[in-house]
């Protein structure tokens, strides 16, 4: 099972990025090529029955699987980055993190009105980043088709901040 294989590879790093946080490090998963492929395929399969016009992926670890997902779906990859990292005209959204605040940006012309966009990130924690991504997408007149996460920290109740009936987390803690 994918979740068991993922769980056996994820390592916990105490006090990162600040004291009291136990960081779930997914980088060991990247060594297992077959698991990465299975994870990508599982995310694509979960959303196969809905129309998806693009995959919005959150910097930076969302990029790792986001490009694979967008290629498998044959739709555009839409990078969402921290403030000041994208050239050209952007739309922005300020939001709260588990341990601070941030600003998320997307190219203003990356998504078109009426598009159905899948949002992908590595971890669903408090839901702040996913909610900000959703606001950016809806702010340009598009729709959120669903959310795909590698893992979810359920104790932080991030699902409560995102409005979607289609949320996939491959592994939940």
Catalytic residues: 61, 98
Residue pair 156/137 in contact (Cβ under 8 Å)? The answer is no
Close Cβ partners of 100 (under 8 Å, ≥ 6 residues apart) = none
- Determine the Cα–Cα distance for residues 163 and 36; give it in Å rounded to an integer: 27
């Amino acid at each position: 099972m994918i979740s068991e294989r993922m769980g056996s590879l994820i390592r916990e790093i105490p006090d990162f990025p600040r004291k009291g946080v136990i960081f779930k490090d997914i980088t060991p998963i990247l060594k297992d090529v077959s698991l990465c492929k299975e994870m990508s395929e599982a995310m694509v399969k979960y959303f196969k029955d809905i129309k998806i016009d693009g995959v919005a992926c959150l910097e930076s670890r969302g990029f790792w699987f986001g490009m694979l997902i967008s290629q498998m779906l044959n739709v555009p990859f839409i990078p969402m980055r921290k403030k000041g990292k994208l050239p050209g005209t952007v739309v922005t959204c300020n939001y709260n993190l588990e341990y601070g605040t941030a600003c998320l940006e997307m190219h203003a012309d990356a998504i078109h009105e009426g598009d159905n966009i899948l949002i992908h990130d590595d971890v669903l924690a408090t839901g702040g980043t996913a909610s900000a991504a959703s606001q950016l997408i809806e702010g340009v007149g598009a729709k959120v088709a669903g959310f795909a996460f590698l893992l979810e920290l359920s104790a932080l109740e991030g699902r409560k901040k995102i409005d979607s009936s289609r949320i996939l987390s491959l592994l939940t803690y």
